[in-house]
């Protein structure tokens, strides 16, 4: 990813997504996090990595898609204390 020109990276929001958001943003990429419930309607076959990737790609291209705001390290620290 570091050797690619800046591009849009779409990911399903999950536990590690905030970390990767920061890593890819530092590399100059634009990162879009999508809530899992917004990706699920685009999965056309059995759940597997390839089907998930296709669904995320399809969802990210929708003009009406709502993206998740990434959490800062401080927000993640506070969240981990409350769990």
All structural domains of the chain with their residue ranges: 8-74
pLDDT digits (tens, 9 = 90+) for 11-63: 999 989 999 999 999 999 999 999 999 999 999 888 899 999 999 999 999 99
pTM of the model: 0.85
Letter string b/e over residues 24-59, b meaning 16 or more CB atoms within 10 A of that residue's CB: beeeebebbbbeeebbeebbeeeeeeeebeebbebb
List 32's β-bridge partners, or say none.
10
């Amino acid at each position: 990813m570091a050797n690619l020109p800046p591009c849009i990276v779409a990911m399903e929001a999950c536990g590690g997504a905030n970390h990767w958001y920061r890593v890819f943003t530092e590399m100059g990429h634009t990162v879009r996090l999508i809530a899992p419930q917004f990706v699920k309607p685009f999965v056309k076959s059995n759940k597997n990595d390839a089907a998930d990737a296709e669904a995320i790609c399809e969802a990210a291209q929708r003009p009406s898609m709502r993206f998740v705001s990434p959490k800062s390290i401080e927000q993640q620290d506070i969240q981990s204390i409350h769990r």
